[in-house]
Amino acid sequence: MYEQKYLKLLSTHYPNVQTASAKLINLSAILNLPKGTEHFIADIHGEYEAFNHFLKNASGILKEKINDRFSDLPKEDKRRLAFFIYYPTDMLDKYQKRMAEEDFLTLLRATLLQMVRLARLVATKYTKQYVRSMLPEEFATLIQELLYESEDHKDKRYYYEAIIDAVFRTERERKLLVELSRFIRHLAVDRLHVVGDIFDRGPKPHMVMERLMRHKNVDIQWVNHDIIWMGAASGCQVCIANVIRIAARYNNLDCLEDGYGINLRLLAAFANKVYKNDPCTPFYPKAEGKIALDDSDGKFIARMQKAIAIIQFKLEATIIRNNPDFGLDDRLILDKIDPEKKTVTIDGHTYDLENAHFPTVDFESDPYALTPEEQRVIDHLTQLFLHNEMLQKHVRFLFRKGSIVYRANNVLLFHAGIPLNEDGTFMAQRIDGEDLYGARLTDAYEQKIRNAYLNRYKKDNRERDYFVMLWQGKTSPLFAKSAMKTFERYFIKDKQSHKETMNPYFTIRERHEVLDRIFEEYGVDKKRGKIINGHVPLDVTRGHNVVLADKRIYLIDGGMSKQYAKTTSIGGYTLISDSYAFYLVYHSRFSSHDDLIEKEKDIVSVIHSEDINHRRTYIYDTDQGKELRAEIEDLAKLIDSYRKGVIKEQESN
C-alpha cells in the first residue's frame, strides 16, 4: 500500500515508461563513473588567506593534473599555468604590466588553450549534464564546444581556432580565462569536508564562512571553538563572553567589530572604568609580535579581556548549578578565593593568585552575582549577537551543513574524540533522565542545540545550556578533555594547575577492539573504515605521527593558525581522497598573497602518506552509489507498474 503510494508520487516526476527508462539508464551509467575527489581540511582558525589558497590549488590536485596532462611542459610553464588557474586576475595584471602587448596576447592565447585541455581532463569524471550545470552561463555554449570537440582533426582544428579568434576579436579573452579557471577549480574537487575549528585565534573567520557558503558541495563537523559562536548566536551569554574573551586574548577583536560589526564600546567603557588601575598583566593579548606591556592598546585589550572573563565565570555558575549532570562543579572557583590572603584553593591545593584584584566580586554575599553594570553590558551584547544579520546567516549555514559526527564512504569524521572510559567503553551522559553514550549521545547533543537555536529568541530556553556542555564538558566529543582550566591559566602561575587531561580516546584509539567498537557504533565498515580527526596540532617534520593504526586514523591538524608557529613549523595538512588513494599533504606556512603571486611558488609540500586502493573506486562503491541503486530499483518497479497497467501512463510535460 505505502509502496504503491510512493510509486504514484514518483510517477508525477516520470509520467511514462519512456521518461522513467531514460532516468534509469542515466543513473546506471553514473554508477560506473569514478568516485569524485574529496578534500578534507581542519583547524582553519580564521586564517582566511591560507585556507583560500588550499581551496584554490585543491591541495596539490591541480598541480598533479597539470603534470599528467602536460608532462613535456617545462616546470616554469607548469607553475605559471597553475597560478593562472589559482589567481587568474592577479596573474593577468602581473603579466600585462611586464610584457609587450603582442607577447601578452600570445601568452594569453596559449594559456587559454592549455586551460581548455586541462578542463577536458578534469571533466572526465562527470556526466555531461553535471558539467553543463557547472558552466558559467555567459560562456556555457562556447566552453561546451571547446570541451567536446577534438582539435586533433584538421577540419575541427580550424573550427576550434575560429572560436578562440572570435573570443579575442570581441575582447572577451580575459573574462573567459577567469571563468575557465573557476570552472576547473570547481571540477577538481567534488566535495569539501571541513573537520572543525573555523573560528577563534585567526583574524578572518567571517571571510572563511563567506567562502564556504560559496562552495558547491561542503559539510562541516563542529568543534568547541565553533560551538561557542553558534551558542553566542543562539543567545547563550556564557558563549558570548567566551567569544569576546578569546578574541581579546588573541588580539582579534577586529573580527567582531569590523568583521561582524558588533560594537564593543559599552564593554570597553565598563572595563576602563572598573579596571583602570589594574595592571591586568595575565590578560595581555597573545599575538605575533607580542604587544609590549607598556603599549596603551595592549592595556586597553587586557582590561576588556579581564572584564569579560569575570562576567563569564559568574554566568557559568547558574548553568553549572542548574545542570548537575553536566559534571562541571569543579569550574565553580570564585567562591574558593581568599581575598585577604590572595589565594585560591582548587582540588585541595592552595595557590597564590597572580592577579588578585576583583572589584566586582562580592565575596561576602554572592561571588557569582553580576553587578548592575555587568548585567547591562552582557544584556546589551546579547542583543547585538542575537540580531546580527551576518552572524545569524553564518550560523544558519553551520547548522544546515554541519553535525558533530559525519559518516561518508566508510570514513568517520569528528574533530576531537568520542569520549571513552579507560577500559575503552563509551562514556555516558545523563540527558532527560536517561544515560546515553556513543551515537545516541552525539545525536542527543545535536538535537538539543538545534532546538536551542530554533528557539533562540525565547527568554526561558534551558537547552542553550548544552552549548556550554559541548564547549567544556568531560563527555563532550567536541572538547574531549577532563576540564577547561581557563581560570587557572589566567590567575595561577603554577603551570601544573593548568593541565587539562586528554580523554582516554587519545591514548587507546589505536587498539583494534576500540576502533572496531567505534566503527560498529557509528555504522562504518570495520575492515575498510577510517577516522579523520583534527584538534591537536602535530608536525610530521618534528617526528609526530599523524597516520595511526595502520592507516585507519588520520590526524589533520597541522597548526594552520599563525598562533601555532612555535608548535608546528608547517602551515597545515589537507587530506585528499580520490578514486585511487588517500593522500596526506602538508603545506609550508602561508606568507602572503602578493609573495605567492610574485614567486609563483606553491606551498604544497611532499605527500607524507598514501593509502592506495586495491582497485579504482567507482560511484557504485560509495554511499551515493547505494542511494542511486535504490533509486534505480524504484524506477524499475515504476516501469513494471506501467507495463502491468497498475499505474496509468501520462503524457510527458
Quick: pLDDT tens for 502-547: 999 999 999 999 999 999 999 999 988 999 998 777 766 677 788 8
Out of 141-150, 211-220, 305-314, 440-449, which region has the weakest mean confidence (pLDDT)? Answer: 141-150
Nearest CA-CA partner of 536 in 499, 506, 515:
506
Q: Are 54 and 587 in contact (CB under 8 A)?
A: yes
Q: Exposure pattern of 610-646 as b/e (b: 16+ CB <10 Å)?
A: ebeeeeebebbbbebbeebeeebebbebbbebbeeee
129 occurs within a structural domain: yes
588 occurs within a structural domain: yes
Confidence of residue 589 (pLDDT cuts 50, 70, 90): confident
DSSP state of 286: P
pLDDT value at position 96?
95
Q: Say if residue 14 is in the same domain as residue 160.
A: no
Q: Say if residue 78 is in the same domain as residue 24.
A: no
Q: Say if residue 62 is in the same domain as residue 177.
A: yes
Q: How many domains does the chain have?
A: 2
Q: Say if residue 8 is in the same domain as residue 62.
A: no
Quick: pLDDT tens for 272-322: 999 999 999 999 987 654 555 557 788 899 999 999 999 999 999 999 999
Q: Is 34 helix (H, G, I), strand (E, B) or coil?
A: strand
Residues 289 and 303: their CA atoms lie apart, in Å, by 20
551 occurs within a structural domain: yes
Task: Please compute the mean of the pLDDT values over residues 251-261 and round it to a whole number.
Answer: 94
Confidence of residue 126 (pLDDT cuts 50, 70, 90): confident
562 occurs within a structural domain: yes
Round the average pLDDT of the chain to a whole number and report it. 90
Q: Regarding predicted confidence, which is higher, 561 or 487?
A: 487
Q: Are 35 and 579 in contact (CB under 8 A)?
A: yes
Q: Say if residue 161 is in the same domain as residue 50.
A: yes
Q: Say if residue 27 is in the same domain as residue 80.
A: no
609 occurs within a structural domain: yes
Q: Say if residue 43 is in the same domain as residue 191.
A: yes
pLDDT value at position 289?
46
Q: Say if residue 135 is in the same domain as residue 25.
A: no
Out of 41-45, 260-264, 387-391, 515-519, which region has the weakest mean confidence (pLDDT)? Answer: 41-45
DSSP state of 91: H
pLDDT value at position 151?
61
Task: Look up residue 92 and give its three cell numbers.
Answer: 593577468
Task: Please compute the mean of the pLDDT values over residues 370-388 and round it to a whole number.
Answer: 98
Nearest CA-CA partner of 240 in 394, 44, 471:
471
Q: Are 50 and 63 in contact (CB under 8 A)?
A: no
Q: Say if residue 97 is in the same domain as residue 21.
A: no
Confidence of residue 489 (pLDDT cuts 50, 70, 90): very high
Confidence of residue 203 (pLDDT cuts 50, 70, 90): confident
pLDDT value at position 615?
81
One DSSP character per residue, 391-460 reads HHHHHHHHHHHEESSEEETTEEE-SS---B-TTSPBPEEEETTEEEEHHHHHHHHHHHHHHHHHTTT-SS
Instruction: Specify the DSSP element, H or E, that contains 606.
Output: strand 604-612
Q: Say if residue 124 is in the same domain as residue 87.
A: yes
Give residue 283's Cα distance to chain centre: 29
Q: Which domain holds residue 62?
A: 38-195+534-617
pLDDT value at position 287?
65
Q: Say if residue 26 is in the same domain as residue 114.
A: no
- Left (φ > 0), alpha (ψ -120 to 50) or beta: where does 645 sit? left
Task: Please compute the mean of the pLDDT values over residues 153-171 and round it to a whole number.
Answer: 81
pLDDT value at position 293?
53
Q: Is 567 helix (H, G, I), strand (E, B) or coil?
A: coil
Query: Taking the CA of residue 565 as centre, how many other CA atoms within 13 Å lie in the half-sphere pointing to its CB?
Result: 12
Quick: pLDDT tens for 623-645: 999 999 999 999 999 999 999 99
Q: Are 484 and 499 in contact (CB under 8 A)?
A: no
Distance spanning both ends of the chain, measured CA to CA? 27
pLDDT value at position 290?
52
Q: What percent of the chain has pLDDT over 70?
A: 94
294 occurs within a structural domain: no
Q: Are 494 and 156 in contact (CB under 8 A)?
A: no
Residues 210 and 250: their CA atoms lie apart, in Å, by 22
Out of 86-90, 114-118, 123-127, 345-349, which region has the weakest mean confidence (pLDDT)? Answer: 123-127
Residues 572 and 539: their CA atoms lie apart, in Å, by 9
321 occurs within a structural domain: no
463 occurs within a structural domain: no
Q: Say if residue 97 is in the same domain as residue 177.
A: yes
Confidence of residue 127 (pLDDT cuts 50, 70, 90): confident
